[in-house]
Amino acid sequence: MEDDVHTLAAEQGLNLEALRAALAALRMHAGGDAFYVFWLPRGSIGSDDGKKRSRTLLAFPSPDAALGFAQRNRLVHPPAVPRLRLLSLVQLLRAMLREPSITALHLVFDTEDLQAYPLGHLPPGLHLTRADVLHLIGVRQ
């Protein structure tokens, strides 16, 4: 993981110590360092008409939480099957910083009952906009 931290700092021209401090703060607030995200095949969430849409990267504490959210919110229709990936906080930040269409990162808290939050809403978690992330890692805008 330390290699990933060095790589991200080098790629983005970040202060290594500021990045380490930001990651430690995120770990503390999010309750972990590894999260599951689901990748859906292109076109499986409606039509994008070739346009780049802003996206929120949803990261879940478990594969069951990720799949439960996708199924409950009808984000997946057969035969499309979401592919889960386990990503560290460093990898999530890297994805967000590399892809301008990802405008927010939502780290979902461990939820025992996925039915407890309203359908169509994000589950409880730590929501960070791109500006929040840049501020957290010490990038002046």
pLDDT of residue 44: 46
Q: What are phi and psi of 15, to 5 degrees?
A: -75, 125
pLDDT of residue 26: 92
Tell me the residue ranges of DSSP E strands in 33-140. Answer: 34-39, 55-59, 83-88, 102-108, 125-129
Q: What are phi and psi of 126, to 5 degrees?
A: -95, 115
pLDDT of residue 103: 94
pLDDT digits 0-9 by tens, 55-114: 889 999 998 888 888 777 777 666 666 688 999 999 999 999 999 999 999 999 866 665
Which residue type occupies 7?
T
Is residue 58 exposed (0-12), middle (13-18) or buried (19+ Cβ within 10 Å)?
buried
Is residue 4 exposed (0-12), middle (13-18) or buried (19+ Cβ within 10 Å)?
middle
